[in-house]
C-alpha cells in the first residue's frame, strides 16, 4: 500500500483539487484506492457527495476504528473516508491523548487498498507531523508565488525537525498562469530542482467547476486539459513512488 499525503501548510493552493483528481486517476487506472478526508472543511467528501453515516468522529478516527465508516463512491475502485467537524480538534486530541499512531492505524488497511490519499488541512501542527510521518510520499501543490515557495521551504524545515525523509517530498506547480510573468519566472527558476515533479497543473476554469458538478474533472470533461494534466500528474507520482 502506498500512502500519499496531499499536504501544504498554506491554504487554498489546490490540495483538495489534487487529492480528488489524483484519487480518481489512480482508481480509473485500476488501483484500489481510498481517499481519506482529514480536513474538517470536508471538501473532498463534498466533491464526492459522501455524507457521514453513523457516529463517526475524531475519537474513532484516532483509535483507528474507521473501517465501518469508509464508503463507496459511485466510481469503480474508489472509496472515501469522510471527514467530521470534530476533526478540527484532532490536534488537541493528539496532544492530550498522546495518540501518535496514525501510521499503524492506516497500516491496518494494507490488504484492502493499493493506494491511500490523505487530503490534509492547511496547517503545520502535530496532526500535520503525524500525517507526514504516516505517508510514503508527500505531494505538495505550490502556486508559483513567493509565499507558496516559502511554504515549501518551511515544510522542508519541518521534515528535518521531525526526522521525516526529505526524499519523499514531491512538490509540483499548481494553478499556473502563463500570462503572469511572476509565475513564468518562478516556474523557470525552480522547475529543475529535485524536489519538483515535472508535471504542472495550469489554472483552469474546469477545476473550479468541480464545485458545481461535484465530480472529478475527468468525469464531466474527460478530454479536457485539466483531466489530462491530473492524469499525467498521477502517472508521475506513481512512477516516483517510494
Ligand atoms: N488548477 C486550478 N485551476 C483553477 N482553480 C483551481 C485549481 N486548483 C484549485 N482551484 C480552485 O482554487 C480553490 C482552492 O482549491 P482547493 O480547495 O483545492 O485548495 P486547498 O489547498 O485544498 O484549500 P484548503 O487549504 O482550504 O484546504 C478552489 O476554489 C478550487 O476550485
Ligand atoms: Mg482542501
If you take atom 25 of ligand 1, which residue's CA is the nearest one? 11
Q: What spacing in Å lies between the alpha carbon of 16 and ligand 1's midpoint?
A: 6
Residue 169 β-bridge partners: 138
Cell numbers 495518540 correspond to what residue?
99
What's the pTM value of the predicted model, to 2 decimals? 0.96
Residue 141 β-bridge partners: 172
Tens digit of each residue's pLDDT (9 = 90 or more) over 125-183: 999 999 999 999 999 999 999 999 999 999 999 999 999 999 999 999 999 999 999 99
If you take atom 29 of ligand 1, which residue's CA is the nearest one? 208
What residues does ligand 1 touch, defined as CB less than 6 Å away? Answer: 11-17, 39, 41, 43, 122, 175, 201, 203-204, 207-208, 211
If you take atom 28 of ligand 1, which residue's CA is the nearest one? 208
What domains lie within the chain, and their CATH numbers?
2-239 (3.40.50.300)
Among candidates 135, 70, 130, 123, which has minimal Cα distance to 101? 130
Tens digit of each residue's pLDDT (9 = 90 or more) over 47-101: 999 987 778 888 889 888 899 899 999 999 999 999 999 999 998 888 655 555 7
Q: What spacing in Å lies between the alpha carbon of 121 and ligand 2's midpoint?
A: 6
Amino acid at each position: 500500500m502506498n500512502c500519499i499525503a496531499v499536504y501544504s501548510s498554506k491554504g487554498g493552493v489546490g490540495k483538495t483539487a489534487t487529492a480528488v483528481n489524483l484519487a480518481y486517476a489512480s482508481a480509473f487506472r485500476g488501483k484500489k484506492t481510498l481517499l481519506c478526508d482529514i480536513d474538517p472543511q470536508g471538501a473532498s467528501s463534498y466533491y464526492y457527495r459522501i455524507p457521514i453515516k453513523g457516529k463517526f468522529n475524531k475519537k474513532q478516527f484516532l483509535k483507528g476504528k474507521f473501517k465501518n465508516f469508509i464508503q463507496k463512491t459511485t466510481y469503480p475502485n474508489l472509496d472515501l473516508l469522510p471527514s467530521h467537524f470534530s476533526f478540527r480538534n484532532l490536534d488537541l486530541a493528539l496532544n492530550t491523548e498522546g495518540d501518535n499512531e496514525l501510521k499503524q492505524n492506516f497500516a491496518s488497511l494494507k490488504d484492502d487498498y493499493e493506494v491511500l490519499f490523505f487530503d490534509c488541512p492547511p496547517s503545520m501542527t502535530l496532526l500535520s507531523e503525524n500525517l507526514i510521518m504516516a505517508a510514503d510520499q508527500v505531494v505538495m501543490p505550490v502556486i508559483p508565488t513567493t509565499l507558496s515557495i516559502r511554504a515549501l521551504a518551511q515544510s522542508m524545515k519541518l521534515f528535518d525537525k521531525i526526522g521525516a525523509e526529505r526524499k519523499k517530498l514531491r512538490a509540483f506547480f499548481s494553478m499556473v498562469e502563463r500570462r503572469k510573468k511572476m509565475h513564468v519566472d518562478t516556474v523557470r527558476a525552480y522547475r529543475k530542482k529535485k524536489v519538483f515533479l515535472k508535471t504542472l497543473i495550469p489554472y483552469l476554469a474546469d477545476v473550479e467547476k468541480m464545485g458545481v458538478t461535484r465530480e472529478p474533472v475527468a468525469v464531466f470533461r474527460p478530454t479536457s486539459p485539466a483531466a489530462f494534466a491530473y492524469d499525467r500528474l498521477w502517472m508521475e507520482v506513481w512512477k516516483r513512488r517510494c
